Chains A and B, each alone.
Chain A
Amino acid sequence: MTKASIVGAVPGDILPLAGLVILEIGNAQAPICVRLAVSLAGKIAADLGARVIKLEPPGGDPVRRKPPLLSRGGTSVRSALFEFLNAGKTSLTLPDDAESARASVATLLSKRIDAVLLEEGDEASAPAVARGLAVVEVRGWPATMPTPGPRLSEFTTLALGGLLDMVGDPDREPLRLGGHQASYSAGLSAFTALMALLVERDAGRPLLPARVSLIETVTWVNWKAIAGVDSDGLAPTRQGAGSEFQVVRCLDGWIAVVFTVTQFENLRDLVGSPILYDRKFATRQSRLENIRELYEQLSPWFASRTRDQIYAEAQARGVPLGPVCGPADLHDDPQHAARGFIMPVADPSLGLLRSPRLPVLWNGRNFGPSAPAARSTLDAVLG
């Protein structure tokens, strides 16, 4: 996409969660996908001004070693995943021996803490609830199940929640969405549950612990698969080359061809191939019946143009075609740049890096990205 200059950060004057102290407790027994969800919820709270104290399990959070890594010139420095999720937090590592670890958590809970983010099965849950704190626990399996199911990975939560089945080609294996979408959508759920608890706490009402499960959140995100069964008796599934919307080659990358029933004529006029005016492409139903041929007719026009050209021409006609942007492309995107979405962060060893702020402008103010997590000690935190 077109290069554009970066607009400077607009510092936020009020941070909505300023004054809150949130404890984020890592449980070595919980799967990493649960950790990522808890970490994202804590990150959003930290960017909004909360003081987030992250307790890493003994030996440190294994996410510190997870890809993608920050690397330069072939040398990997640290985990970009850890840095992204934990910026703005104060981090301490729990002692190895279980008794001391328990004592450390108890000491922290006895101090002025407002909320606790927990991973499944953590024994701090009961005392935190008893103390009247806002408690959000993230699990893999639904909390309603009498006994939790077997071991999970983020990938198997996508399978169980049906999201895997929806992506890819029907005659090939189901495909996961890139990144950590099961964990992150659960992290957004956990953040929202935390906000609801804080409102309840402000009102002085007794708090109930909130529970979020990755499988439940994936199912919730994938609700159309279930509504589809209700709608016409058929479960929608991945459509691949039979899909109305497909990704096609262009000169410098890929374009997602997206259009509504009412926008097809604009797309047809944009591409201008005479065959597209044939009756077999006149209705949505007939287009789906001839989808392979439709895309054969559309493809050459795309293949001879760049993403920028295609995007500009399509928008001028009101067709919402989507140029495929990779992470590196987003740094130079004119829209992200104009809104200051990707902002500089000072890294201790790599100099200036760039990371997204929270995806909201609040009366024009922005939040985050915060500085990298600072390691601390129990004494320093308590002091």
Chain B
Amino acid sequence: MKPLAGVRVIDFGQLTAGANTSAMLADLGAEVIKVESASFMDLFRWIGSGRETAPGWWNRSPQFRFTNRNKRGVALDAKIPEGRRVILDLIAKADVVVENFRRGVLERLGLDYATLATRNPRLIFASISSQGETGPYRLHGSFGSTLDAMGGIAALTGYEDSKPVISGSHVNYPDQVVSLFATGMIIAALRETRRTGKGALLDISQREVTSFLIGEEILASSADLGPVETRRRGNAEEGIILQDCFLASDRRWVALTLEDEADVASCRAIVGGDDNLRDGVAAWCAAHPAAEAVAGLAGAGLAAAPVHDGAALKRARDLAGHTLIWRASGEVVKGMPYCFGGQGPAVACDAPDLGEHTEEVLREILGFDDAEIQRLAALGVTRAEPYA
């Protein structure tokens, strides 16, 4: 299913929040053109082995490969006037722009929504930012972990009565969820534009998305008028009798949830003893390898599972479903968190090298000839190697 076939996206997205949103649009059939340049590459190109030493290191990052499959890549330098002009021409022929620059960057380059909308009133401009297009913090920079803290999730995450915990740079949870939400909103806006002929500025704040995902806590805190101390409870959850991770004899962790008294009875039948339930489970798990412990607990109808790490995830292909795609080369890229009729996304092309499709795109979409392409190259607009 290619619901977005015929939709052209200009992708200024970088790292996860922006680039991954465009990748999700590409997986649904959109034609995505990623715009970078010698003076500004997606920051993910800097991450990975052999960085800044191996030849062509900027085309080797696994993180970049994960979030940019199914896109074409062009190198067009917006800091050179001719480069900016070509980018404007491309956007005039596009349906969607996705960007997650720091606020102010596109304005300085004259590529802000107000400017673009005068040339292309049907344009959908997805502005994904830390704290939104407006407000006193609009220019404030952040990383995923900043927003874990400011969005409210960190305050609810942590060991019992201990300090708040962030998801950290290896997860950057706010970056992941914003791309799920932004993709859905862009598709909603495409339907609206087809109906009304009018484009839209979608102003999406990552901090707001993060706060939205603890909406029930925000609502609850508005009812109780007294001072509220946010408590951290480890893995426990109010209303659930016992929930935690237990260390097995092979030093792997077992996650277990006992919701009600029936679960407690089933669990007691396995772990034995009639004293403290938590201690009983801990002692029993410590005496069994994780796989055996999970099999025993889950076999009795309890919610028990091994805690997978990255290596286990890569081995557990059946669990990944359509969310990871194994390439013939053995490499893995990210897939979709949904499937249609049991079919996941296909990888039509790998993540592009810097500027891999510049010429192809300029000829095909803007009708440029050899002379024009050579002129841009001579001006440095289409340079496809980062400056030293």
Instruction: Give residues in A with beta carbon < 8 Å to B.
Output: 14, 16-17, 31, 44, 48, 65-72, 77, 80-81, 83-85, 136, 142-145, 149-153, 155-169, 172-181, 184-186, 188-200, 202-203, 208-213, 215-217, 219-232, 235-239, 243-245, 247, 249, 254-256, 258, 260, 315, 318, 320-331, 334-336, 338-339, 341-342, 345, 347, 350, 353-356, 358-364
Q: Which of B130, B157, B304: most chain A Cβ within 10 A?
A: B157
Residues from chain A with a CB closer than 8 A to the CB of B131 are 335
Interface majority SS (helix, strand, loop, mixed), chain A: mixed
Contact with A along B122-159 (1 / 0, CB 8 A): 00000000111111110011110111111111111111
Residues from chain A with a CB closer than 8 A to the CB of B261 are none
Residues from chain B with a CB closer than 8 A to the CB of A190 are 338
Mind listing 25 A-B residue pairs with CB under 8 Å?
A14-B192, A70-B219, A80-B217, A142-B320, A150-B299, A155-B303, A159-B306, A167-B168, A173-B235, A175-B157, A178-B232, A192-B187, A197-B340, A219-B313, A220-B336, A221-B171, A223-B324, A322-B142, A324-B154, A326-B152, A331-B218, A335-B131, A338-B136, A356-B215, A363-B200
Q: Are A362's CB and B200's CB within 8 A?
A: yes
Instruction: Give residues in B with beta carbon < 8 Å to A.
Output: 1, 3-4, 24, 28, 47-49, 61-63, 65-66, 130-137, 140-143, 145-159, 163-173, 176-177, 180-181, 183-185, 187-192, 194, 196, 200-205, 207-209, 211-225, 227-228, 230, 232, 234-235, 237-240, 243-247, 253, 255-257, 259, 298-299, 301-314, 316, 318-324, 331-332, 334-343
Residues from chain B with a CB closer than 8 A to the CB of A208 are 1, 340-343
The CA of A217 and the CA of B338, in the complex, are separated in Å by 8
B21: shortest Cβ distance to chain A, in Å?
A: 10
Q: Are B48's CB and A210's CB within 8 A?
A: no
Residues from chain A with a CB closer than 8 A to the CB of B143 are 258, 260, 320
The CA of A238 and the CA of B61, in the complex, are separated in Å by 22
Q: Are B146's CB and A188's CB within 8 A?
A: no
Partner of A81, one of B137, B203, B216: B216
The CA of A17 and the CA of B298, in the complex, are separated in Å by 42
Q: Are A166's CB and B216's CB within 8 A?
A: no
A223: shortest Cβ distance to chain B, in Å?
A: 5
The CA of A347 and the CA of B220, in the complex, are separated in Å by 12
Residues from chain A with a CB closer than 8 A to the CB of B343 are 208
Residues from chain A with a CB closer than 8 A to the CB of B308 are 159-162, 165
B192: shortest Cβ distance to chain A, in Å?
A: 5
The CA of A158 and the CA of B313, in the complex, are separated in Å by 12
Residues from chain B with a CB closer than 8 A to the CB of A238 are 168
Q: Are B324's CB and A219's CB within 8 A?
A: yes
The CA of A334 and the CA of B131, in the complex, are separated in Å by 11
Q: Are A350's CB and B223's CB within 8 A?
A: yes
Q: Are A80's CB and B216's CB within 8 A?
A: yes
Q: Are A72's CB and B223's CB within 8 A?
A: yes
The CA of A326 and the CA of B211, in the complex, are separated in Å by 10
The CA of A318 and the CA of B188, in the complex, are separated in Å by 35
Q: Are A341's CB and B211's CB within 8 A?
A: yes
Q: Which residue of B lies closest to A186 (CB)?
A: B337
Residues from chain B with a CB closer than 8 A to the CB of A71 are 220, 223-224
Known A181-B173, A197-B3, A341-B211; 18 more pairs at CB < 8 Å: A67-B238, A144-B342, A152-B305, A156-B257, A168-B165, A172-B159, A173-B247, A174-B245, A181-B177, A185-B337, A213-B321, A219-B324, A243-B168, A254-B163, A326-B221, A327-B156, A331-B221, A355-B222
The CA of A22 and the CA of B157, in the complex, are separated in Å by 34
Partner of B342, one of A156, A211, A229: A211
The CA of A177 and the CA of B227, in the complex, are separated in Å by 24
Interface majority SS (helix, strand, loop, mixed), chain B: mixed
B230: shortest Cβ distance to chain A, in Å?
A: 4
- Known contacts being A160-B305, A355-B218, is A230 close to B62, with CB within 8 Å? yes
Q: Are B310's CB and A328's CB within 8 A?
A: no
Q: Which residue of B lies closest to A164 (CB)?
A: B307
Residues from chain A with a CB closer than 8 A to the CB of B303 are 31, 150-153, 155-156
Q: Are A162's CB and B224's CB within 8 A?
A: no
The CA of A203 and the CA of B7, in the complex, are separated in Å by 13
Q: Which residue of A lies closest to B186 (CB)?
A: A195
A15: shortest Cβ distance to chain B, in Å?
A: 10
Q: Are B173's CB and A177's CB within 8 A?
A: yes
The CA of A224 and the CA of B169, in the complex, are separated in Å by 9
Closest 5 pairs (CB-CB, A-B):
A178-B156, A235-B310, A208-B341, A322-B149, A142-B321
The CA of A358 and the CA of B141, in the complex, are separated in Å by 22
- Known contacts being A185-B177, A331-B221, is A359 close to B3, with CB within 8 Å? no
- Known contacts being A173-B247, A209-B340, A210-B339, is A229 close to B142, with CB within 8 Å? no
The CA of A318 and the CA of B143, in the complex, are separated in Å by 12
Residues from chain A with a CB closer than 8 A to the CB of B164 are 247, 254, 256, 324
B22: shortest Cβ distance to chain A, in Å?
A: 14
